[in-house]
């Protein structure tokens, strides 16, 4: 019999499973408390459940389907895990349509994903993956090398957050960003289910406003996300201020124009009342000129967006360089002079291959 993945379950599901096997309804709350509050995933240690019930849980549930095959710690406290997923947890097939068109470079690379814990003075942020590989194929990003192998389940996404919260020196995960491997809105059902568990009081209990979903964007997916009941933050990975350049560095941009994406972002703002964030990776002498900054400012003002500027982390084998500090600050000042709230995101974990997909890429190359 195939074991159920605990992290795929919600309170009602656990309760129904238990009651159908003779457990009292409150046993579900006890069980969830052991896992999410105390970090215990060995049923034998859940001492306020009867021995018979502990044995039943152990016989039908699997708690950790991933295996840590690499764990790196940076000098700034950032920690990165490379996880291998068990063969019993096959990824779901990628969705039809545009993603199939993009998935021309699909090869077997192993069932591995990355997740990162990023500490700062007042928070511990979990950066998690939503897919095995990535369909978008950004030419500067290691995640899409090899294409898309499949979608992660909700349980696999939640397990990443749980694992990062169990690392040494982490009191608890306070923020979650879907900025790891994969395109979150291309795995909509699993991502939204995972967010419910991450946000739920019986789950990880992380505030909705501390959860960010980052998308390269299909307009229809953004519009669908407007209806999601949990008020998370949405970030659009723009990375270029005009369609010609964006299509050169982001193959997925062939499916929608910047104007179409901004129309969807306008709808997001109207329907949710929440501002969107524009993510912009600065690539040396590619998208970091004064002209690019002026174009970007127009888009940011239109959709009432903050802009996060991200300095490129170099990836071996890719033809891009990291811009210097002067160019980055000049770009920021142009945005600010035009009324745009622009921040330079601090680079974290550069000494441990912390760029998205980089650890998996480096390991495969060895």
Q: Are residues 53 and 108 in the same domain?
A: no
pLDDT tens string 88-106: 444 454 443 333 322 322 3
Tokens standing for 239?
Answer: 């990375």
For residues 190 and 88, the model is more confident at 190
Q: Are residues 74 and 140 in the same domain?
A: yes
**Which letter does DSSP use for residue 35 in this model?**
H
Q: Are residues 39 and 155 in the same domain?
A: no
Do 210 and 100 touch, CB atoms closer than 8 A?
Answer: no
Q: Are residues 105 and 167 in the same domain?
A: yes
Q: Which of 43, 62, 81 is the last residue of a domain?
A: 62
Q: Whats the size of the chain, residue-wise?
A: 366
Tokens standing for 273?
Answer: 């009342």
Q: Are residues 133 and 35 in the same domain?
A: no
User: pLDDT confidence of 159, banded at 50, 70, 90?
Assistant: very high
The backbone torsions φ and ψ at residue 333, rounded to the nearest 5 degrees and listed phi first, read: -65, -35
CATH of the domain at 55: 1.10.150.530
Alpha-carbon gap, residue 113 to 320, rounded angstroms: 23
Going by C-beta distance under 8 Å and a sequence separation of 6 or more, which residues neighbour residue 33?
none
Q: Are residues 38 and 137 in the same domain?
A: no
Alpha-carbon gap, residue 233 to 355, rounded angstroms: 22
Residues 226, 230, 232, 234: what is their CA dihedral angle, to the nearest 10 degrees? -20
Alpha-carbon gap, residue 265 to 276, rounded angstroms: 7
Pairing, β 277-282 against β 306-311: parallel
CATH of the domain at 84: 3.20.20.70
Can you tell me which residue has the tokens 């209990």? 205
Q: Which of 46, 62, 78 is the last residue of a domain?
A: 62
So what's the pLDDT on residue 95?
42
Q: Which domain holds residue 45?
A: 4-62
Q: Tell me which range, 94-98, 158-162, 345-349, is most confidently predicted by mean pLDDT.
A: 158-162
Q: Are residues 218 and 360 in the same domain?
A: yes
> Which is the catalytic residue, given 62, 112, 114, 149?
114
Q: How far is CA 266 from the centre of its chain?
A: 23
Alpha-carbon gap, residue 234 to 21, rounded angstroms: 41
- Return the percent helix, strand and coil in the chain, to nearest 5: 40, 20, 40
So what's the pLDDT on residue 356?
56
Number of domains in the chain: 2
Q: Are residues 171 and 22 in the same domain?
A: no
pLDDT tens string 48-80: 999 999 999 999 999 999 999 999 999 999 999
Q: Are residues 167 and 33 in the same domain?
A: no
Provide mean pLDDT across the span 276-286: 97
Q: Are residues 74 and 30 in the same domain?
A: no
DSSP track, 237-303: E---SSHHHHHHH-GGGGGS-HHHHHHHHHHHHHHH----EEEEEE-TTTS-SHHHHHHHHHHHHHT
127 classed as catalytic: no
Nearest CA to 145 among 353, 359, 310?
359
356 classed as catalytic: yes
> Which is the catalytic residue, given 115, 127, 138, 356?
356
pLDDT tens string 212-266: 999 998 899 999 999 999 999 999 999 999 999 999 999 999 999 999 999 999 9
Q: Are residues 48 and 94 in the same domain?
A: no
Q: Which of 62, 84, 100 is the last residue of a domain?
A: 62
So what's the pLDDT on residue 107?
31
Looking at the predicted structure, is the pLDDT value of residue 138 above 90?
yes
Q: Are residues 178 and 113 in the same domain?
A: yes
Number of DSSP helices (H) and strands (E) in the chain, helices first: 12, 14
Radius of gyration for the alpha carbons in the chain, expressed in angstroms and rounded: 21
Query: Long-range pairs for 264-273 at CB < 8 Å and ≥24 separation?
Result: 264/217, 264/219, 264/220, 264/222, 264/223, 265/222, 265/236, 265/303, 265/305, 266/302, 266/303, 267/222, 267/223, 267/226, 268/222, 268/223, 268/225, 268/226, 268/234, 269/303, 269/304, 271/226, 272/226, 272/231
Residues 343, 348, 353, 359: what is their CA dihedral angle, to the nearest 10 degrees? -90
Bridge partners of residue 233, in order along the sequence: 212
């Amino acid at each position: 019999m195939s074991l159920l993945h605990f992290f795929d379950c919600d309170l009602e599901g656990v309760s129904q499973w238990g009651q159908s096997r003779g457990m009292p309804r409150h046993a579900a709350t006890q069980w969830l408390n052991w896992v999410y509050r105390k970090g215990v995933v060995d049923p034998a240690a859940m001492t306020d459940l009867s021995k018979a019930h502990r044995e039943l849980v152990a016989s039908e549930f699997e708690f950790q389907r991933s295996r840590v095959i690499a764990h790196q710690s940076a000098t700034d406290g950032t920690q990165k895990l490379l996880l291998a997923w068990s063969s019993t947890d096959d990824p779901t097939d990628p969705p039809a349509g545009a993603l199939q068109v993009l998935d021309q470079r699909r090869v077997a690379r192993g069932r591995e994903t990355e997740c990162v814990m990023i500490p700062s003075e007042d928070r511990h942020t979990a950066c998690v993956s939503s897919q095995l590989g990535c369909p978008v194929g950004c030419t500067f990003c290691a995640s899409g090398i090899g294409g898309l192998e499949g979608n992660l389940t909700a349980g696999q996404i939640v397990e990443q957050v749980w694992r990062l919260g169990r690392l040494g020196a982490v009191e608890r995960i306070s923020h979650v960003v879907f900025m790891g491997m994969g395109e979150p809105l291309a795995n909509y059902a699993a991502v939204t289910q995972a967010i419910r568990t991450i946000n739920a009081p019986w789950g990880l209990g992380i505030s909705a406003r501390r959860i960010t979903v980052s998308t390269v964007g299909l307009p229809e997916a953004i519009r669908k996300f407007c209806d999601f009941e949990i008020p998370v933050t949405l970030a659009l990975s723009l990375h270029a201020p005009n369609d010609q350049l964006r299509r050169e560095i982001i193959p997925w941009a062939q499916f929608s124009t910047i104007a179409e994406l901004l129309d969807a972002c306008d709808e997001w703002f109207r329907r949710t009342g929440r501002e969107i964030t524009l993510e912009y990776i600065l690539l040396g002498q590619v998208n970091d000129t004064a002209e690019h900054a002026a174009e970007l400012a127009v888009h940011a003002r239109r959709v009432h967006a903050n802009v996060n500027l991200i300095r490129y982390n170099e990836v071996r084998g890719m033809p891009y360089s990291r811009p210097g500090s002067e160019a980055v600050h000049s770009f920021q000042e142009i945005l600010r002079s035009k009324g745009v709230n622009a921040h330079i995101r601090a680079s974290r974990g550069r000494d441990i291959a912390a760029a998205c997909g980089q650890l998996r890429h480096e390991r495969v190359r060895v």
